[in-house]
Amino acid sequence: MVGCAPDDSLNSQVGGETTSIYIYSKSPAPVDRYELEEDLQDFLGDDGMVSGGGAGDTGWNIDLEVDSASAEDVIQRLIPFLKEKQVGSDTHLDVFPPDWKEGDEKRRVNVFDVGGE
């Protein structure tokens, strides 16, 4: 799994500036990754889209592009959604705002607290 810079070409599909949210985990996916991608697309509705994903020996990832105006709301709703899907306790989100450039720090949001609630 290799992170990459957000894709500006999705701006027109989402509607305006987009924030990229990459979901990563080294734990086995709780369900088929493609099924989780479909569930995430339904979850996002008009707020965004699933833009990619992958899996390998080091874990799995699913990439989302969301409308920047609703990104914080999506993140707050996404955490309980992923917990309900029983993702691994190491699952985290890497968040890239629309003005992110290579070399800038990314924001990391852990789905579970350190205690793994």
Number of structural domains, the chain? 1
pLDDT at position 40, please?
Answer: 97
- What tokens does 70 get? 């609703």
Domain annotation covers residue 48:
yes
pLDDT at position 15, please?
Answer: 58
Domain annotation covers residue 1:
no
Pairing state of beta strands 107-110 and 92-96?
antiparallel
Domain annotation covers residue 17:
no
H/E element, 95: strand 92-96
Mean pLDDT by 10-residue block, N- to C-terminus, for the chain (117 residues)? 45 71 92 92 96 92 96 96 94 96 94 64
Pairing state of beta strands 92-96 and 59-67?
unpaired
Domain annotation covers residue 35:
yes
Domain annotation covers residue 8:
no
Domain annotation covers residue 71:
yes
Tell me which residue range forms the domain holding 63: 22-110
pLDDT at position 114, please?
Answer: 47
